[in-house]
Chain A
Amino acid sequence: MDKIYAHPKSLRDVSTHYCPGCGHGLAHRLITEVVDELGIREKVIGVAPVGCAVVAYEYWDFDCSEAAHGRALAVATGIKRVRPENIVFTYQGDGDLAAIGTNETIHAANRGENLSVFFINNAVYGMTGGQMAPTTLLNQKTSTTPDGRCAQLQGFPLKISEMLALLPGVKYIERVSLHSPQEIIKTKKAMKKALINQMEGIGFSLVEILSPCPTYWGLSPKPALDWIKNTMVKEFPLGVIK
């Protein structure tokens, strides 16, 4: 009988520190499944962000580097340019990629670095206690927008994927979500495409993943998934952006 489901070799057999219902564990696992399926575990170098996923390397069983907050794509640029034969990806949250690291993000994309980016958008800063992120929705309450995000004071949710799609150096951008089994399958496919693009030398690829943060959305795990489905996707529509 064929074995159709197993613990990925690239995923360490340990418990994660993530909150119940958090999307990070799922996104981590999908990456390891894709890495195993592509047979690239011994070539992969992951770059972990600052944020909840800072210790992603304690869950992934392949070479990894930490990066300062927002600097993952600069670090990845250095790694990839020195070792073009390796497969280098970054895993970054919304604060990391679209606030403190916007400059690094835009310019790595504009140089067309042959990298894969996994961008977790959960509309909030998790590790520091639920502050407003660049992707926080209007009227969404966070610890730094206690009355809800107000456009006049805090601006609008930043659509960095749409912005990046304008750059000629960018080859592939897709927004996916973790809110249902169907969407999870699409997420995995997009991740695979982003890595295959790099293996084939096609260039900068980014997958934006809408991911639940029940703790700082003040919701139970299931309603958090529903919130993505009913509310978040209206601001961040799913599909291939470029």
Chain B
Amino acid sequence: MDSEKRQKESRVKLLITGNEAIAESAIQAGCRFYAGYPITPQNELTAYMAHHMQDRGGVFIQAEAETAAINMVYGASAAGARAMTSSSSPGISLKQEGISYLAGAELPSVIVNIMRGGPGLGNIAPAQSDYFQATRSGGHGDYHCLVLAPSTVQECYDLTALAFELSDKYRVPAIILGDGMLGQMMEPIVVTKFRAPSLKQSNKPWALTGCKDRKANVVKSFYLKEGDLEKFNLKLQSKYQKIQREEERWEELFLNDVKIVLVAYGSMARIAKGAVKALREKGKKVGLIRPISLWPFPKKAFAKIRKQYLVIEMSYGQMLEDVQLAVNGQAGIEFLGRSGGGVPSEAEIIAKVNKIYHG
């Protein structure tokens, strides 16, 4: 939502963490069911839901396991409610079964991943190493989740509500992909009052409500008869193509008269932005593309032929592959990445840019 419109609608300001902003946005957006399991660094989100959901007409459950949490979301969504779960990397791995079933049953749902270092138990430092898992269908089967990557606490708030909207619109699971830095960080935000549909008003004729005055509804992802599953998969694919056409989102900075375009998302983009501004002050022709939707990846942002890109991630090169696909050999691509607790610093970025610039 643009800032002008936001100002008109409401001027409630909050100083809040990214985790809490996601939770508050979900409640404002009409999330009526939340189930979660404790895992760092997203616990503030679960605690916020525990404090607020019941008082504001929703259901909060601390699930016995990540698998249970995601399957409770499946049930709540099947019953027509806006539903959400959240976790961090190892917990999101456990949820993959459920996410595949949500995609297969075309159930809207929002899944929040506040990423930490991996693989395995890894650590609790911020990371971006679940990009492949989020954008490539982390579970089994040919499916996609819509993936949105906030970069500020305000965006945590705005994109979570958008995730609910898009998830309902296309009947696909939507992922909010943040990281521990963003989840823990406190920033002032402007709170918008969203117009959330109530359970009774929501337009979900497929939902399980009891078969009064209509034929029985079935929520399922099982197509055993020859040809049926292929037909269903083709339907999913055409939906995904529509999402790819219509839902690319990104931010651009200084892309006119540019020699090197930095590409970064989420927390990493904030650091990259600082580097771009510092370099511009020194007269360096540097710009930035910040993907906001990671799936669909904003290919249109790369349509213009440019000379040189520098992809920066808190991973060892995952979004890098999407940039390579988008650029398709039409420009040079350099990479700077750290993961497992390391975050590329502004100074590291500047040094890398200078090396490419003069190299």
Contacts and interface: CB of A to CB of B under 8 A. Distances in A.
B79 A45 contact: yes
A65 B212 contact: no
Contacts of B35: 78
A68 B209 contact: no
For chain A, the bracket of interface size reads 35 or more
Interface in B203-233: 208-213, 216-222, 224
Contacts of B71: 67-68, 71, 74-75, 78, 104
A41 to B, nearest CB: 7
A62 interface: yes
B211 A78 contact: no
Contacts of B221: 66
Interface size, B (range)? 35 or more
Interface in A60-95: 60-68, 71, 74-83, 86
Contacts, number: 139
B101 A82 contact: no
A69 B81 CA distance: 23
A82 B210 contact: no
Contacts of B210: 42-45, 62-63, 83, 86
Nearest to A113: B61
Given A71-B71, A79-B79, A86-B209, A63 B199 contact: no
A9 to B, nearest CB: 11
Contact of A64 (B64, B67, B80, B208): B208
B32 interface: yes
B50 interface: no
Interface of B: 32-33, 35, 59, 61, 63-65, 67-69, 71-81, 83, 97-98, 101, 105, 199, 208-213, 216-222, 224
22 contacts: A42-B213, A43-B210, A44-B210, A57-B218, A64-B219, A64-B220, A65-B105, A66-B105, A67-B74, A75-B72, A77-B72, A78-B76, A80-B75, A82-B81, A82-B199, A83-B79, A83-B209, A86-B208, A103-B65, A103-B68, A104-B64, A107-B68
